[in-house]
């Protein structure tokens, strides 16, 4: 085969999506935006950030150490801890026009996906509904769906072991045991 005729390997062999779909629940999205925007001046310490998370997620047992939050925060030169996200993403994210525009972009992208895909939904999520997952399955024909019943939107944070187990099961079903 001539070099110009060589086939390229696929960029993706599989895709995993955790509690995200094109048609998300507006009220749930707004809750996340409100939480992430509630402390624009950051937190005085990691423990203060952990207190905010505990108040926002009262169903989740508080961890004995707040060190896991470090991957979601950045400490600036003033010593304060800030969420590791771009506030510009959320500044207009809650407007009906931006929600609809994002949904259309996500639907267009989903139609292009042609690899085995697994959607993991938090069974208690207020962001992603079963109807939202069903709509995504219409767009991605090779999509499977797993509901982690005891988890909210932050599936790995709420039920990390179960989240890992369903991802592993998905990969094993495609590629065999490790």
The answer to whether 163 touches 155, Cβ cutoff 8 Å, is: yes
pLDDT in tens, 47-78: 999 999 999 988 888 888 888 888 889 999 99
| Closest C-alpha to 59, from 157, 167, 166 | 157
Domain span at residue 122 reads 3-175
In the prediction, which pLDDT does 17 show?
95
Going by the DSSP 8-state scheme, the letter that residue 43 receives in this structure is B
Residue 149 burial by Cβ neighbours in a 10 Å radius (0-12, 13-18, 19+): exposed
Q: What's 107's domain CATH number?
A: 3.40.50.1820
In the prediction, which pLDDT does 98 show?
80
In the prediction, which pLDDT does 62 show?
86
Cα–Cα dist 111/140, whole Å: 6
Three-class SS string for 54-95?
A: HHHCCCCCCCCCCHHHHHHEEECCCCCEEECCCHHHHHCCCC
Q: Which residue has the higher pLDDT, 178 or 1?
A: 178
In the prediction, which pLDDT does 178 show?
58
Chain position carrying tokens 């085995």: 116
Q: Which long-range contacts does 133-137 make (Cβ < 8 Å, 24+ apart)? A: 133/21, 135/21, 135/22, 135/23, 136/17, 136/21, 136/22, 136/23, 136/110
Question: Tokens in use for 143?
Answer: 């999509």
The pTM of this model reads 0.82
In the prediction, which pLDDT does 60 show?
84
pLDDT in tens, 81-139: 999 877 666 666 667 778 888 899 999 999 999 999 999 999 999 999 999 999 999 99
When divided into structural domains, the chain yields a total of 1
């Amino acid at each position: 085969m001539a070099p110009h005729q060589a086939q390229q390997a696929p960029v993706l062999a599989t895709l995993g999506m955790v509690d995200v779909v094109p048609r998300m629940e507006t009220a749930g999205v707004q809750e996340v935006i409100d939480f992430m925007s509630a402390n624009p001046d950051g937190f005085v310490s990691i423990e203060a950030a952990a207190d905010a998370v505990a108040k926002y997620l009262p169903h989740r047992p508080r961890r004995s150490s707040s060190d896991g939050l470090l991957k979601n925060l950045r400490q600036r030169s003033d010593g304060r801890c800030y969420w590791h996200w771009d506030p510009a993403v959320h500044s207009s994210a809650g407007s009906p026009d931006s929600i609809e525009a994002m949904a259309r972009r996500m639907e267009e992208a989903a139609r292009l996906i042609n690899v085995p895909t697994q959607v993991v939904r938090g069974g208690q999520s207020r962001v992603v509904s079963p109807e939202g997952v069903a709509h995504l399955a219409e767009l991605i024909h090779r999509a499977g769906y797993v509901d982690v019943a005891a988890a909210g939107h932050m599936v790995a944070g709420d039920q990390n072991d179960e989240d890992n187990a369903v991802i592993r099961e998905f990969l094993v079903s495609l590629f065999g045991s490790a």
